[in-house]
Structure 1
Amino acid sequence: MRIDLVALVVEEYDPAIAFFTGVLGFELVEDSPSLTNDGRAKRWVVVRPPGAQTGLLLAQADGERQSAAVGQQVAGRVGFFLRVDDFDASYQRMREAGVVFVGEPRREAYGRVVVFEDIAGNRWDLLGE
């Protein structure tokens, strides 16, 4: 048993794809036409870190309720955790790409960590040594 996908509500597909692939270095696993439950066109977009099994389903907001959830997937808490092999290189690359960081890197019992925001404003921990 494993978690395959986690849905992340975004405003638009293409800027979200660009952020996750171009800025974070994820792979675009799938970008296929699909339909909503009531038959309207949408896309099935999956990204994931290289070598990872679990991916993110980038789900374009559909309606006011979903639009209100963009950037608030976990009510302002850190809800996503990205572990990297080279913390310093990843942090520097992301800073140069304009990623918004909340505070400075710090050392915790589990390694180095700094909070950043994704394209929608959701908070993530960047983790590494």
Structure 2
Amino acid sequence: MRIYVTSVLVDDQQKALDFYTKILGFVPKHDVPIGDDRWLTVVSKENPAGTELLLEPSGHPAAKPYKSALVADGIPATSFQVDDLDAEYQRLRDLGVRFTVEPMDAGTVRMAVFDDTCGNLIQIIEMIEKQ
């Protein structure tokens, strides 16, 4: 069994698509209209056949309190791996991304957390030890 699609609940799909592609560097995979929303996925440009991230509309009544509680507690909605945390942190800062946790050591990883502008905190990690 493999992970095919995972999702992040977003307040605005177009705003999320712009952020996840223009700022984070993912590439669009699927964009299929479904009523007022879209089946909208992005993938890593380094692995276009890999796991898709669904930019899922957060219209369900449970979504807003769930997302708000995660943000209030500083809990990231998801995590992405990078090769060089310091370089990625600086690149994103230069693009205006707001970090809630600056790069720090956390056991076998270095990590930082930023606001995706769509209602979520996102963690980026760099592995510092082979698992």
Matched residue, 2:52: 55
Q: Which amino acid aligns with 1:14?
A: Q
CA distance in 1, matches of 2:62, 2:19: 20
Secondary structure class of the residue paired with 1:113 = strand
CA distance in 1, matches of 2:11, 2:114: 18
Residue 46 of structure 1 pairs with residue 44 of structure 2 = no
Superposed displacement of residue 73, structure 1 = 7.5
Secondary structure class of the residue paired with 1:75 = helix
Q: Which amino acid aligns with 2:24?
A: L
Q: State how 1:30-109 maps to structure 2 within 5 Å.
A: 30-34=30-34, 40-50=35-45, 51=47, 53-62=50-59, 65=61, 68-69=64-65, 72=67, 75-76=70-71, 77-109=75-107
| Greater than 4 Å deviation, 4+ residue runs | none
CA distance in 2, matches of 1:79, 1:9: 8
Superposed displacement of residue 66, structure 1 = 5.5
Q: Which amino acid aligns with 2:87?
A: A
Percentage of matched positions with identical amino acids: 32
CA distance in 1, matches of 2:78, 2:114: 10
Question: What is the aligned residue count?
Answer: 122
CA distance in 1, matches of 2:68, 2:31: 22
Unaligned runs of 5+ in 2: none
TM-score normalised per structure 2 = 0.78
Superposed displacement of residue 88, structure 1 = 2.1
Superposed displacement of residue 58, structure 1 = 1.1
CA gap of 1:80–1:74, structure 2 versus 1, over 3 A, is farther
Superposed displacement of residue 62, structure 1 = 3.0
Contact 2:26 2:43 in 1 (8 A): yes
